[in-house]
Structure 1
Amino acid sequence: MKKTATLLLVTTFALAAAADEYKPSKLKHLQALRAKHIKQIDDTYIRELDKLKLEYTKRGDLDGANAINSALVKMMAKAGNEAPAEETLEDYMIIVPAQEYKDAGNDPNLQQEHADEYAKLVVPGRAWVEWEVKLPEGEYYLHILYASAAPRACHLEINGKEQEGEFLKGRTGSFNADGVAWVNCGKFTFKKGRNSILLNPIGVGPHYQELVLSKSENPPYEIGNKIR
Structure 2
Amino acid sequence: MQRYAAPDASGLARRIVHVQRSSAPRKPRLSCVVYVDESGDHGMQNLDGSYPVFVLAFCVFYKRHYSGEKVVPALHKFKFNHFGHDLVVLHENEIRKEKGAFRFFMNREHKHRFITELTSIIEVSNFILISCVIDKARLKERGESDNNPYHLALGFCLETLYEFLQEKNQDGALTHVVVECRGKKEDNELELEFRRICDGANRLGITLPFDVIFADKKVDSPGLQLADLVASHIEAK
- What is the TM-score normalised by the length of structure 2? 0.23
From the two aligned structures, give the one with the greater helix fraction: 2
Structure showing greater relative contact order (alpha-carbon pairs closer than 8 Å, 6 or more residues apart): 2
| Higher CA-based Rg | 1
